A and B are shown apart, each in its own frame.
Chain A
Amino acid sequence: MLKALIEKEIRDIIGSTKFVITFAVCVLLVFLSFYVGAGNFKTSQAQYEAAKAQNLRQYEGLTDWFNVQSTRIFLPPQPAAVIVSGVSNDIGRTVEVQGRGDLAAEDSKYSDEPLFAAFRFLDLEFLFQMVLALFAILLGYDAISGEKERGTLRLTFANSVPRATFIVGKLIGSAAAMIVPLVTALAAASLLLPALGVPMSGSDWARLGLVIFVGILYLTAILALSIVASAFTHRSSTSFLLLLVIWVGSVMIIPRTAVLVAGRAVDVPSLDDINTQKSKFAAQMFAEDAEKMNSFKPKVSENIDSMMKEVNEFMGGLADERDRKRREFGGRLDEQRRNRQQVQERLAFGLARISPATSLSLALSSISGTSLSLKDRYNENALSYQKAFADFQTEKLGAPVGGRMIRMGRPADDKEKPKPIDLSAIPVFDFAPETLSRSVGEASLDIGLLVLFNLLLFGGAFAAFLRYDLR
């Protein structure tokens, strides 16, 4: 009997006009999403390569490493960001790196192309959260009340059909009618990525598979919610209205309210405040050092190189000490701010996780490596690179540039034309994205919550139907 009920449900849904139309729209959007995503990736890849080349080109023809005061590093476009862009378009992609000093990422995709910021990208997160969720609601809102309105419920229960079997058949059948065609469409659309030139590694495919899995978990929760609503109402129009209200609350209201509440509850000092304090401290440090610089007198020597070495060692020592203190002070401020931010984020996410839409967002961006941690990771990578670049400058110049460095020299006596510097010697920035296992670990709480939402809502639908008035 369960088989008959499942088959009936699948056939009834797939044979309906509303399914055909809404599914066609969803498939179109899924393909469009992958197509546009692949196009954006290729554009970003071209911009990334051009920016790297341009960075080296500015030093072409130089003969002295002293003139290479800084270099720029760029966040490479990630194939997984095609699937779920997360914060990848919001964070700065370019960092000017000196051997010393603070690092700041600039030039986010949205700051470069504000038009995209206005409308955002059509990625899988948007599709699952907004479009496909409505698709799930359309499949489920009249699951029970619609059968009652049509009179088929009464006719069905004129037979020896246990309520439990009926609702289980309905839940399984409607979930299958939604999942199988959707996964097929998503799998087919995924093949567009390599075909359109997105270099998908094994890890990227695994991320894509997980994104689809989590998206389906979210949709089954929405479907079960729709069936719950349908089992609590006697008219499908009431059920649909109720679900629209819940959907708007879940996707729009709850996450925004959570952020608002967290913002009010936890005070985080602004970046401007922090930078002002850092600047004041740096100015104070320099003022202290200026006195030492004024009183410093190198030993007068015929050997100008040894004299310069002494000056640079003194100046470098001061700069190193200043840098250390400044880093210490700045690090403390940054850490305090980061701790407050983490408290604020935890509160905001904790409140927003009441909504499955939030869990979906957080899980998908974590799996794709485009969550808020991408910014921290890029920053860590940039700091590591800064160390490598400082070592490189020390190797070439005797000290990292970026503090104060005085250089004196005499024209070469031998008149030999200096050779251009070998730009390929500059350390290459290699961004290491989050490993798949860490991404999954980061997403595990939200995946668990989505599983819990499913269990609760499927259980709710089951319990609600056992008490449903079948007349």
Chain B
Amino acid sequence: MSDPLNVPKSPLLEAVNLTKKYEDGVLALDHVSFGVEGGRVFSMLGANGAGKTTTINLFLNLIEPSEGEARINGFVSHKDPLEAKKYVAFVSENVMLYGNFTAVQNLDFFARIGGKTGYTRDDYREALLRVGLADEAHYKRVKEFSKGMRQKCGIAIAILKDAPAILLDEPTSGLDPKAGYDFIRLLESLRDEGKAILMSTHDIFRAKEVSDTIAIMNNGRIIMQQPAASLAGKDLEDIYMHYMAGHSAVAVN
């Protein structure tokens, strides 16, 4: 891919006392702090409403924090959103894309608004093949795609943006086991390329498989944060259920 961005050693994705309180008084995120360096995968586990998607929305400046900061490559998202978002790609839970466009047209549009204007058809083909989308699908309208195919297309968009950080919001939700497996392999290869990856997920087993750090969130707070290596040999599901039942206070690295 063209002109890769310079990846510094410090956390590419950083939440500092990140807090979001809505106008109706709901505290969606309560002083959350963490960092994700290049070549690392940070997974956020938690029930619906735990604050995972809110965290991602704050990084993308889709909402503004009530307190604290979300930083991307050092740029504070809500203060300098256009600069910050140059360094991040995003894959959502249910990638819908523009249904009347072909896969290539979708890639072309998102590449252009992502600031990548020099891609050729071969670049698009290469990205789509890398995520496992066969040639015959490249010029089909996306509305004819299955969820798994759309998800692959979404990842191809993130790959083409060639950003040093990637945000993934429930990326394996609804994928069949084979698609889920392929996705994790792809994630590993992106991590190995030096990308900083922040993933929100319900999929405990995939998270344990691919993550360097796992955090469990509940009611807007991180109630457990551990290196994945420290959880080796332990049943993460038990740990998750244990923490969700409120048996422990916040744990740190």
Contact = CB atoms under 8 A, between A and B. Distances in A.
A144 to B, nearest CB: 14
B174 interface: no
Given A160-B82, A162-B82, A471-B62, A12 B100 contact: yes
Nearest to B59: A158
Interface in A433-471: 469-471
A155 B62 CA distance: 10
CB-CB nearest 8 A-B residue pairs: A158-B90, A15-B100, A4-B112, A151-B96, A160-B82, A150-B96, A160-B85, A470-B62
Interface string A357-391: 00000000000000000000000000000000000
Interface string B112-137: 11110000000000000000000000
Nearest to B87: A160
A110 B57 CA distance: 63
Contacts of A16: 100
B181 interface: no
Contact of B81 (A8, A152, A155, A160): A160
Contacts of B98: 8, 12, 150, 152
A243 interface: no
A370 to B, nearest CB: 41
Contacts of B86: 160
B101 A15 contact: yes
B110 interface: yes
Chain B CB within 10 Å — which of A8, A152, A158, A160 has the most? A158
B104 interface: no
A81 interface: no
15 contacts: A4-B109, A4-B112, A150-B97, A150-B99, A152-B98, A154-B62, A154-B90, A157-B62, A158-B85, A158-B88, A158-B89, A159-B115, A160-B85, A162-B82, A469-B63
Nearest to B85: A160
Interface of B: 57, 60-63, 81-83, 85-86, 88-90, 92, 94-101, 105, 109-110, 112-115, 154, 157, 161, 167
Contacts of A156: 110, 113
A436 B115 CA distance: 51
B140 to A, nearest CB: 13
A155 B101 contact: no
A155 B92 contact: yes
A1 interface: yes
Contacts of B110: 155-156, 159
Contacts of A159: 85, 110, 113-115, 161
B225 to A, nearest CB: 25
A5 B57 CA distance: 22
Given A4-B109, A4-B112, A471-B57, A155 B97 contact: yes
A146 to B, nearest CB: 10
Contacts of B63: 469, 471
A161 interface: yes
Contacts of B60: 154, 157-158
Contact of B167 (A5, A7, A158, A470): A158
A404 interface: no
Interface of B is mostly: mixed
Report, as a range, how many residues of chain A touch the other chain.
20 to 34
Nearest to A3: B112
A426 to B, nearest CB: 67
Given A11-B100, A160-B85, A471-B57, 18 more contacts: A1-B112, A1-B113, A8-B98, A150-B96, A150-B97, A150-B98, A151-B92, A151-B96, A152-B98, A154-B60, A154-B90, A155-B110, A158-B60, A158-B90, A160-B113, A160-B114, A470-B62, A471-B63
A112 B110 CA distance: 62
Chain B CB within 10 Å — which of A150, A151, A154, A159 has the most? A159
A351 to B, nearest CB: 39
A151 B154 CA distance: 11
A11 B85 contact: no
Contacts of A155: 90, 92, 95, 97, 110, 154, 157
Contacts of A161: 113
A470 B61 CA distance: 9
Contacts of A1: 112-113
A57 B105 CA distance: 72
Given A158-B167, A162-B82, A470-B62, A152 B97 contact: yes
A382 B147 CA distance: 74
Contacts of B85: 158-160
Interface string A221-252: 00000000000000000000000000000000
A8 B114 contact: no
A11 B99 CA distance: 11
A160 B62 contact: no
Nearest to A161: B113
Nearest to B141: A15
A159 to B, nearest CB: 5
A161 B57 CA distance: 15
A12 B105 CA distance: 10
A20 B211 CA distance: 47
Contacts of A152: 96-98
B113 A4 contact: yes
A157 B77 CA distance: 12
A466 to B, nearest CB: 13
A4 B114 CA distance: 11
A156 B85 CA distance: 11
Nearest to B88: A158
A155 B97 CA distance: 8
Contacts of B95: 151, 155
A11 B101 contact: yes
A154 B60 CA distance: 9
Nearest to A7: B109
Contacts of B109: 4, 7-8
Chain B CB within 10 Å — which of A1, A8, A150 has the most? A8
B105 A11 contact: yes
Contacts of A4: 109, 112-113
